Amino acid sequence: MHFQSKGGTLLERLLIARRVELSRLAEYWHTLGASAFGILEADEVVAEWAWPAPVVTERLVSRYTISYPGGALRLFVSSSSSSPEHQPRLETDAVLVRELLRLEYELSVMTDELVQKQDQMLALYDLTRALRSEVGVEGIMQIIVQEASRILQSGGSFCRLVSPDHLVQHPAGRLPAAHVRAWCEQVMTQRSRLLLEAGAAPDVEGLLSVPVWMEGEVRAILGVFDRADGFKSPDIRLLQAIAELVGSKLEHAMMYERTLAQERINTEMTLARQLQGLLLPDKQPSVPGLDIFAAMYPAFQVGGDFYDWLNTPDSFTFMVGDVAGKGVAAAMMMAMIRSALRSVARFGFALMTPEDILEQTCEDVYDDFTRVSTFTTVFVGQYDPRHGRLVYANAGQSPIMFGRPGEPARLLEADAPALGVLPNSLSRNASLPMQPGDVLVVATDGLPEAENAAEERFGYDRLLALVEQHRHLPAADIAAQLYAAVSAFEDNRRQHDDRTLLVIKCLPHRRAATVTEAAEPDDVEGMLLD
C-alpha cells in the first residue's frame, strides 16, 4: 500500500492524525477491486492509497463535498470496473471522513488552546513570582516591561501610567516618548487593543498594545513591539492576561502608596497640631481683678487663629488674631504673625501701646504677607490692673463684644483694615473702663459665620444675645455656652472655619490691704484699689 500527502500544514496534520481510519477505509475499497483510494482538493490529489493493478479505466469521485477550515475535499476511487453500489458507498464514506476530520480539527484546536493556556499560566506564574517582592509602582512597571518583552519574545516593551503620567520603556529610551504616548492615546480613545503590522508605524517592526483596567477605567497601557513575524491571536490573549495581572498589581500598589502618603500626612499633621498647641498659652493667666478664659478650635488639624498674652505686674497685654485661609498655610502664617506680635510686645511692653504694637508688627510682616498674598486681623488689648482700664487697638478683628450689667451687649467695631493690606497700620488706641461684672468677648469669624442645613448663618445678633444672657457666669462657662450654641445651630455639620474665643470678665474689686493688715508687698502691688 502506498500513501502520500500533498496537503497544507493543517490538512496534513488532520490526515496524518486519522491515517489509521483512512487506511482501513482504503483497504475496504481494495477488497472491492479498487486500485487506488484517495482525497482530492480542487481536482488535485492530496492523499492517496494505491496498489499495483491493471490500467485504470475509471475514476469514481464522490459528489459529496467535505468542508474543512481552509478548503473543501472530495473522495475518489480508481478501478478498472465499478458496480452501481460503489457511488452510494463513496458518498457514505465521504460523510464519515468529514466527521473524522471535524473531530480531529476540534481536538487539535482544543489541544492548541490547552497548550496556550498552559503557556500563559506558566508565563503568568513567572511574572507573579517576579512581582512578588515588589510593592512600589515604579518597581512594578520596570519588572512588567522586562517580563512582557521576554514572555512575548519581542524586541522591546513599554508601560504607561495615565495618572500620574509616567512612562517606562525596555530597553530604556528605545522609542521616542511622543510616539509611545500617541499610540497610548489611541488605545485610551478606543478602549481596546492597538495592533500594527511591521512597517505600519515608524521606529517599530510590529506593535501590540492593550489597555490596563483599574477600578473600571483605563488607567495604564501595556505594549510590546519589534517582532518581524507580527503578533497573532495567542499573543493578544497572552498580553491581555498580563495586562489583567498588571492592573491588579498596580491598583494595589497605588492604593498602598496612597495609604502610606495619607499616614505620613496624618503623622505630620498630628505633629503640626501638637507644635501649634505649644505656641498657644498652656494655661489661663492670673490677673488681679479678672477672670480669663481662652480656647481655639481649628476647622482642620491646624488652623490660622491664635491668641496669646504677656502678663506683668503692671499690665496684662493680650492679642487675638485670624490669618486669612485655613489649614497648613494659615497655620504657618499664624506662627509667623504670632511670633512677630509677641516679639514686639515683649521687648516694648513698658513703652508700647496696642496701637504701637500693631504699627511695628505691620512694618515687620508687610513684605512677607504681600509676597504670599495674605493678611491677618488682630485685636490687641492692654489691661491696667491698678486703674481697671482697658486700652485696645483693632486691625479688622470681628466680632468683639462687650457686655455691662444693665446694658445691652454691643459690638466694638474695628477702626482699621487687617495687617498686610497696607504698609502701615491705621489702628488707633481706644480706652474702655472695666467695671465689676463687665464682660469682653474677643472672637474670630468662625463663630458668627457658622451655618445650619438651610445655609443660614449664626450671626452677630445671636452671639450678642448669648453674651447678654450668660454674662453672670464665669468666663469659662460663658465660652462653653457660646461654643455649645454654635454647635447646636450647625446640627453636627462639618466645621468650616477656625473658632477662637477669649473671654475676660471683670471681678468685684477687692479692698486694698493696709500696712496694719500686714499684707505682703507682692500682694499689695497686685490688688485693685476701690
pLDDT, tens digit, 9 for 90 and up, residues 222-270: 999 998 778 888 888 888 888 888 888 888 888 877 787 777 777 666 6
Average pLDDT over residues 95-106: 84
Domains 133-257 and 283-526 share a fold: no
Contacts of 336 (CB under 8 A, 6+ apart): 365, 368
* Backbone φ and ψ of 73, nearest 5°: -125, 165
Indicate if the alpha-carbon torsion angle 337, 339, 340, 345 is positive or negative. positive
Range with the poorest average pLDDT among 6-10, 132-136, 394-398: 6-10
Judge whether residue 511 has pLDDT over 60. Answer: no
Average pLDDT over residues 332-337: 75
Q: How many CB atoms lie within 10 A of CB 182?
A: 11
Alpha helix ranges (H) inside 195-326: 233-279
**pLDDT band for position 518 (50/70/90)?**
very low
Greater confidence (278 vs 417) lies with 417
Q: Distance between CA atoms of 12 and 46, rounded to whole angstroms?
A: 9
CATH 3.60.40.10 given to domain 283-526: yes
Q: How far is CA 491 from CA 252, 465, 480, 488, in A?
A: 38, 20, 16, 5
Range with the poorest average pLDDT among 12-16, 306-310, 467-471: 12-16
In this predicted structure, what is the pLDDT of residue 471? 94
For 372-389, how does the pLDDT look when each residue is reduced to its tens digit (9 = 90+)?
888 899 999 999 888 889
Strongest mean pLDDT among 51-55, 77-81, 88-92, 108-112 = 88-92
Q: Which residues are paired to 208 by β-bridges? A: 195, 224
- Domain parsing of the chain, residue ranges: 2-114, 133-257, 283-526
Judge whether residue 436 has pLDDT over 60. Answer: yes
For 176-198, how does the pLDDT look when each residue is reduced to its tens digit (9 = 90+)?
999 999 999 999 999 999 998 87
In this predicted structure, what is the pLDDT of residue 231? 87
For 468-488, how does the pLDDT look when each residue is reduced to its tens digit (9 = 90+)?
999 999 999 999 999 999 999
Q: Distance between CA atoms of 160 and 167, rounded to whole angstroms?
A: 4
Q: How many CB atoms lie within 10 A of CB 89?
A: 16
In this predicted structure, what is the pLDDT of residue 522? 41
Judge whether residue 282 has pLDDT over 60. Answer: yes
CATH 3.30.450.40 given to domain 133-257: yes
For 76-97, how does the pLDDT look when each residue is reduced to its tens digit (9 = 90+)?
888 877 788 888 888 898 888 8
